[in-house]
Amino acid sequence: MPHTPEDKKKALTRLRRIRGQCDALEKALEAGSECAPVLQQLAAIRGAVNGLMSEVMGMYLQEEFGADAHLDAGQQKSIDTILSLVRTYLK
């Protein structure tokens, strides 16, 4: 969960963007749009949700194991590697 005001604002902005994409998808489905644009919108929503998940996970890892934990360089590198792998997986 984002705790700083800046992180909270970033997460809420992403969530609002996702909500807008979902609303657009709903309208497209109601209008009987072609499959290709609907599938493209679904992929965009999935990417946006994965981006939000990655962002929140990064905040969590830094909060739990980062700044205040006084990690050595190797531990910080491990956190960065894990976060990079997760972000790659979520793309």
Residue 58 domain boundaries: 5-90
Residue 55 belongs to a domain with what CATH number? 1.20.58.1000
- First and final CA of the chain: distance in angstroms? 21
* Structure confidence by residue, pLDDT tens digits, 20-71: 999 999 999 999 999 999 999 999 999 999 999 988 888 888 778 766 667 7
pTM of the model: 0.80
Number of domains forming the structure of the chain: 1
Identify the pLDDT of residue 62.
79
Q: What is the mean pLDDT of residues 1-30?
A: 92
The answer to whether 56 and 8 have CB atoms below 8 angstroms apart is no
Identify the pLDDT of residue 15.
96
Torsional class of 34: left (φ above 0), alpha (ψ -120 to 50), beta (otherwise)? beta
d(CA 14, CA 88): 19
Identify the pLDDT of residue 17.
96
Query: Rounded to whole angstroms, what are the CA distances from 59 to 8, 10, 34, 88?
Result: 10, 11, 38, 16
Identify the residue with better confidence: 55 or 91.
Answer: 55
How much of the chain is in helix, strand and coil states, percent to nearest 5? 85, 0, 15
Identify the residue with better confidence: 6 or 45.
Answer: 45
